[in-house]
Chain A
Amino acid sequence: MGTRDEAGFEEFVAARSDDLLRTAVLLTRDRGHAEDLLQTALVKAYRRWNKISSADPYPYVRRILVTSAASWRRLRTTQEIVSLPAHDVPGPDANDGFADREQMADALATLPPRMRAVLVLRYAEDLSEADTADLLGCSVSTVKSQTQRGLARLREHLGTPRLTAGTAAVLEEC
């Protein structure tokens, strides 16, 4: 890799690694796994840096990130961290949506990796169905069906909602 490409890689990492890390956290839920996943994707991209023809390498690196996340091996690279309830200390100004987000994160974590990736790309990254299909290397109809099945499973895990005056939707028994 020449000097100019090294500089380009530096610039890319400086400019986009925060975005990629955010996506990685949504895909893995765990910060440690996410950093490992991000570095894995960056190493793969670095190897092919001279061959990336696009002016913007971000979609290419994001594709690597998302497809790498689906590998079961990634889940074990930091070894056997026992899965236990997340215990967070809420501060006095704890966000009102904290519990909702945790609940949603719990539900997302139950989905298969590719189904989770579809939902993250569609709803966090705002990709179209076509762009999501292109990124994941599948058909648009697959993205549609994965989206519908993913939402259905989220609904199942979140329980049946109710509406209470003065609040957003909260949950109640199925």
Chain B
Amino acid sequence: MTLSDTDLEARLRRDLRARADDVPPAPRDLAELTRQRHRSLRRRESGLVAAAVAAVLVFVGVPVVASTLAADDDRGQTARPTAPGDPASPDEGIYATPTRGGLADEDAWLAGVARLPWRDEDGTSPRDPGMEMPEPPRDTRRVAYADDVPSGRVALVVGRSGGEVVHAWFVGPRGADAHEMSVANYPGMFGTDVVGLVDGDPDAETLTLIVVANPGDVVHRPLIPEVDAEGTIVTPEAEPLDLVDGIAVLAVERRWAQSGATLLVQRSRDTSYGVAMSDSRRVGLDRPDIVPADPRGQAAQGAPSAWQVSSVGYLVAQYGLTADEAGPTLLAAGPIGSGRNAQLFGITFPSGATGMWLETFVPTNPDTGVMGVDLPFAPAGTALLDRVFAAQTLGGLVVTAPSGVRADVLDASGAVLESLPLTNGAGTGDLADPQSAASVRILDDTGAVVASTDIFRVD
């Protein structure tokens, strides 16, 4: 049977409206934020126009100077406020702020870095071949920041592309000549005029975080959450960065950098923006693929694909843990009906508390993506494989228990609706009457009940 067009349209209408109803209100200070952004953009544009006019006057009125500028295209590519012919005057924002950092006076070096390509030599971007990347005209580029930091020499180059300010980080060894610098990662857009780079050696546990903001900006660094013995997520207060002239260079742990944390840029009392940081290619921050342990042989029911493995790595990393520390374990896996599979896996936190995640996907059509849901954490005292848990999702059921060969699905009155086979206490299945399913009881091969639990409804 197929879903009729009418039904599909009705579902689309219903789901869109339900999602819209869940959207929290817009920020209260939105009108003022809009004015601030408008003023900032207008001042930048005015500066560009004024500078362009000034450049024309220089060419017309002082031909000697003009020819010098034309011959030395190093000039005008860094944000030197007094440089004649600069396409942009100093104004607001990183693009218009004079070069900062210990190399700010190295004009020739800065100009050389501003000329460097933003793509690799083969024309592709560093990480995503084929992705459209901005490569701003050279006469719009300037170096916003350059210095030798603990991880080496770094430079932030900004430019204008299609009316947008874009940026790219460049890295090299300490003391590197301009031609020894290379683009650190793919270019990015400015969203909040604050950018960060994580840099360092691939085997170093302590890395360098460089943050470039506007003078006066307030930026915080969220710290990694922990899960205490009660199973409660404890999130430390975000650490305020000590920005000097809008610049911060600080040491950070590799596990923090891998946790997926974002910088928080405070724009008003009520509004903060999350800004993802770039990481240089040389730092090797890609999260390792993690294949969870499979003591129950569940992978045979639905072997984890590349994206599932990546997902486990992400979940472990967000708590600053390694696979060895968290012991990610596949608890149950298999079809749940509707052409979908489910995988239930869990980790053990250093406190002894345990966490579980449920993921569902269409194995025959992985492009539809995976839906992941955090399940309730359990306090220390019960090992992950000893937890008894049943989750209902998308009309199917996923069960994990220490042992058992069968799960009876019961309604609210205790009547058995149906049974699912289990392997070593784990199993999945499609429920005939998901609305009535209320609890499960686990039975061993003698028919004895060894465990029971209410069903946790994910959807």
- Kindly state whether residue B15 has any CB partner on chain A within 8 Å: yes
Give, as a whole number of angstroms, the nearest-CB distance from A108 to chain B: 8
B459 and A99 contact, CB distance less than 8 A: yes
Give, as a whole number of angstroms, the nearest-CB distance from A173 to chain B: 4
Q: How far is the CA of A13 from the CA of B435 in the complex (A)?
A: 43
Contact with A along B233-266 (1 / 0, CB 8 A): 0000000000000000000000000001010000
A104 and B278 contact, CB distance less than 8 A: no
> Which residues of A lie under 8 Å from residue B275 when comparing CB positions?
78-79
Known pairs A77-B191, A166-B433, A166-B435; A99 contacts B16 (CB<8 A): no
Q: How far is the CA of A10 from the CA of B458 in the complex (A)?
A: 41
Give, as a whole number of angstroms, the nearest-CB distance from A78 to chain B: 4
B38 and A46 contact, CB distance less than 8 A: yes
B-side interface residues, number (CB < 8 Å):
80
Contact of A85 among B38, B273, B311 (CB under 8 A): B311
> Which residues of B lie under 8 Å from residue A73 when comparing CB positions?
162, 164, 189
Q: How many A-B residue pairs have CB under 8 A?
A: 215
Most buried by B among A17, A73, A85: A85
B31 and A14 contact, CB distance less than 8 A: yes
Contact with B along A145-171 (1 / 0, CB 8 A): 000000100110111111110111111
Q: How many residues of A sit at the interface, in one of the four size bands?
A: 35 or more
> Which residues of A lie under 8 Å from residue B394 when comparing CB positions?
99, 103, 170-171
Q: How far is the CA of A84 from the CA of B367 in the complex (A)?
A: 13
Further 7 A-B residue pairs, CB within 8 A, beyond A77-B189, A101-B15, A120-B16: A20-B26, A36-B191, A72-B132, A77-B191, A80-B278, A85-B359, A160-B2
What 6 pairs across the A-B complex have the smallest Cβ distances?
A99-B459, A173-B339, A161-B3, A85-B372, A124-B16, A17-B26
B30 and A151 contact, CB distance less than 8 A: no
- Kindly state whether residue B20 has any CB partner on chain A within 8 Å: yes
B20 and A151 contact, CB distance less than 8 A: no
Query: In residues 50-84 of chain A, which contact B (Cβ within 8 Å)?
Result: 72-73, 76-82, 84
B1 and A124 contact, CB distance less than 8 A: no
> Which residues of B lie under 8 Å from residue A124 when comparing CB positions?
13, 16-17, 20
Query: In residues 9-23 of chain B, which contact A (Cβ within 8 Å)?
Result: 9, 11-21, 23
> Which residues of A lie under 8 Å from residue B357 when comparing CB positions?
87
Q: How far is the CA of A89 from the CA of B233 in the complex (A)?
A: 12
Q: Which residues of B contact A (CB under 8 A)?
A: 1-3, 5, 7-9, 11-21, 23-27, 30-31, 33-35, 37-38, 41, 132, 162, 164, 185-186, 188-192, 195, 260, 262, 273-278, 311, 314-315, 337-340, 357, 359-360, 362, 364-365, 367-374, 393-395, 433-435, 457-459
> Which residues of B lie under 8 Å from residue A106 when comparing CB positions?
368-369, 371
Most buried by B among A9, A78, A96: A78
- Kindly state whether residue A134 has any CB partner on chain B within 8 Å: no
The 8 listed contacts between A and B (C-beta, < 8 Å) are A14-B31, A79-B195, A82-B276, A87-B374, A97-B18, A103-B394, A105-B15, A171-B338
Contact of A22 among B20, B311, B434 (CB under 8 A): B20
- Kindly state whether residue A131 has any CB partner on chain B within 8 Å: no
- Kindly state whether residue A25 has any CB partner on chain B within 8 Å: yes
B339 and A164 contact, CB distance less than 8 A: no
A39 and B459 contact, CB distance less than 8 A: no
A80 and B188 contact, CB distance less than 8 A: yes
Most buried by A among B1, B23, B24: B23
B338 and A162 contact, CB distance less than 8 A: yes
Give, as a whole number of angstroms, the nearest-CB distance from B376 to chain A: 8
Contact of B23 among A21, A76, A171 (CB under 8 A): A21
> Which residues of A lie under 8 Å from residue B12 when comparing CB positions?
104, 119, 123, 151, 154
Q: How far is the CA of A102 from the CA of B19 in the complex (A)?
A: 9
> Which residues of A lie under 8 Å from residue B20 when comparing CB positions?
22-23, 25-26, 124
Contact of B19 among A26, A86, A89 (CB under 8 A): A26
Q: How far is the CA of A109 from the CA of B189 in the complex (A)?
A: 21
B19's nearest neighbour on chain A, judged by CB, is A101
Give, as a whole number of angstroms, the nearest-CB distance from A79 to chain B: 5
Q: How far is the CA of A157 from the CA of B340 in the complex (A)?
A: 12
> Which residues of A lie under 8 Å from residue B18 when comparing CB positions?
95, 97, 101
Known pairs A72-B132, A87-B357; A98 contacts B368 (CB<8 A): no
